[in-house]
Amino acid sequence: MKIILKIVELQAILAVEKQKNKLIGFVPTMGALHCGHLALVEQAVAENDISIVSIFVNPTQFNDPNDLVSYPRTLEADCALLEPTGNAYVFAPPVEEIYPEPDMRQFGFGTLETVMEGRFRPGHFNGVAQVVSRLFDIVQPDRAYFGEKDFQQLAIIRALVRQLELPVEIVSHPIVREADGLAMSSRNTRLTSEQRKNAAIISQTLFAGREKKNRLPVGELKREVVEKINAVPELQVEYFDLVDGDNLQSVHDWSDSQYIVGCIAVYAGDVRLIDNLRF
């Protein structure tokens, strides 16, 4: 596995591979890798001739400067985890390589970006669109792999690909969970032992709530989920919504959609965790 820091070096290598008609699989990450990331990489390795993982903490998608500063950066450990997967290349550029000049592009995704994460993290999805489009332009993959934990981000990226008419297939992978149900996340490493224990209640409450689908009205179920999580020490729900999985708009009755997803963001102390579950 080769680590590459420069765009010109990566593109020179990929040009040779593409001349051989090799299929390129790409897994964009911000590092601090865990088993959820590795599942994406293993899928990319299995489904393509060449797999590339990018490790780049993208500053334009952090609306909270403190979150950017505290985001874990563990390149050496990440590469050690990737080595056994069969991944061919790690692209780990410095910020000035991706953004030699400030990226002033503005993207629009309509109602997809105004709800949930978009409501509470203004500018976040524009930053995601900037970096993903930039990386796609550099790598020009045949397939790109994203986890379903970032459910709204996945919808935005699909919309981005349609908007820009990019020749890349977006492949999603189900959420990978810890044994107690907590969705795997790089931010989990920032939890204290007590916060980590309590954070498992987020997914447990979602799964328990799903069992009550059609027995409770949508609004009542939403209130119950929020109240149960907020009753746990150091947990505070930022939002919980039941939405149509295609357009991300709130549902008000179980009959409103055949594809309903419960999406949630919760603070455990000052660590922000997200999760979702199909209802």
Active site residues: 37
Listed in sequence order, the residues at least 6 apart from 138 whose beta carbon sits closer than 8 Å to its beta carbon are 7, 10, 11, 91
Q: From start to end of the chain, where are the E strands?
A: 2-4, 24-29, 50-55, 89-91, 143-147, 169-173, 235-244, 260-268, 271-278
On the CB side of 149, how many CA atoms lie within 13 Å of its CA? 22
DSSP bridge partners of 262: 242, 277
Distance between CA atoms of 204 and 65, rounded to whole angstroms?
31
Beta bridge partners of residue 55, listed in sequence order: 29
**Token pair for 256:** 């409103």
CB 182 within 8 A of CB 259: no
Q: Collect all residues with Cβ–Cβ distance below 8 Å to 208 and sequence separation of at least 6.
A: none
State which H helix or E strand residue 57 sits in. Answer: none
* The amino acid at 249: Q
Residue 68, Cα to own-chain centre: how many angstroms? Answer: 16
Q: One-letter amino acid identity for 89?
A: Y
